[in-house]
Amino acid sequence: MIRMIGKAVKKIALGSADVPQECTVGLPDPQHEIRMWLEGCGDPLDVTLNHVVACASPFTVGIGLNLESYTQARRTGLLLKFRERNGEQRLLARVALRPSETISAADQELSLFQIRRCSNYCLPRHRIWAHDLHQALVRRRNDKNPEIPMSVRAARAMNVFFICPRPVVVVSVMHEDAGNIFPMNLFGGIGDGCFAFALNSRRKAAPLVERAGRVALSSIPFEHAGLVRRLGKNHRLEFANWSELPFRTTPSAALGLPVPQFALRVREVEVEVVRRLGSHTLFFARLIRDERLSNGSQFCMIHGIYQARRLRTFQEQSEPFLNRAEV
């Protein structure tokens, strides 16, 4: 009875905010739902395909900017806006950024920013607050010694950045005749043939990638999402048991790394800069080869708050057609 009452109170408080933290969706590459606009360094810049979530705690985002734009950002600050790509292009969230540092590699600058404040408009404000409070209580109850301690602001920022669908890739890495293979969703292109990705600093996959210096990143068809999720445990292993993989592999074109046979796209990169930022280690790399092998919907992750909005929007758009059919 107490458990039932607790669930009822939770439902009343959260309403439509009682959603999962992550949802699996299949989308084209690149996705066509969300655009991210950077304001504050001249004309607004579309950075949808030019950014990376670089660290969870402290929450840090990396954006490819030239030195002049970054210098201006230090004077004025920057604002990142998440908008629908089509239709009314409604504003879904905004994030105020504070410049942190820059990283240089292959004649390309990666500017790092931390979060000053963020707002999520996918749900009414009181529902967002209720969701924040509920998640803070869950973290406090379940994580006495959390692997990644996050503030409410950082947790809200992570929710906002997963409004923009995050593709999940399989990372293949080999070092001295042994290696690992695991999923990852914190990565992004940084323009002019550069790439950046972040791995949990406390897990064994990160130091292995640092030693190897080269990895292959494979985009995954949506229908194979379940297989890839099973590889999550490999983040805690230094070396994977390749004979137990739930799929077959094939050598990548440039580096000969074992990649899933069903990969839609394989990007092979060479790491040039490694920076430990806190909970995560950031790898800034040069793209060696980008090969598209097949078309299809790729495995992506979004936050449940945005998924709830997607479903509600789809229902609203469908109602006129349903009513017309009834007439």
Residue range 267-317, pLDDT digits in tens: 999 999 999 999 999 999 999 999 999 999 999 999 999 998 888 887 777
Residue range 123-155, pLDDT digits in tens: 888 787 787 777 777 666 666 556 778 888 898
Q: Output 69 or 32, whichever has higher pLDDT.
A: 32
Percent of the chain with pLDDT over 70: 88
Reported in sequence order, the residue ranges of the chain that DSSP labels E, i.e. its strands, are 23-27, 34-39, 45-46, 51-56, 59-64, 78-84, 91-105, 108-120, 166-167, 169-175, 178-184, 187-189, 194-200, 214-219, 249-251, 258-260, 265-276, 280-292, 298-302
Mean pLDDT of 194-222: 96
CB atoms within 10 A of CB 216: 29
Res. 17: pLDDT tops 70: no
Domain boundaries, the chain: 31-164, 166-301
Res. 177: pLDDT tops 50: yes
Q: Do domains 31-164 and 166-301 have the same CATH topology?
A: yes
Question: pTM of whole model > 0.75?
Answer: yes
Res. 1: pLDDT tops 50: no
What kind of architecture, by CATH, is found in domain 31-164? Answer: Roll (2.30)
Q: What is the pLDDT of residue 8?
A: 44
User: What is the C-alpha separation between 87 and 129, in angstroms, rounded?
Assistant: 28
Res. 192: pLDDT tops 90: no
Q: What is the CATH number of domain 166-301?
A: 2.30.110.10
- Residue 18 per-residue DSSP state: -
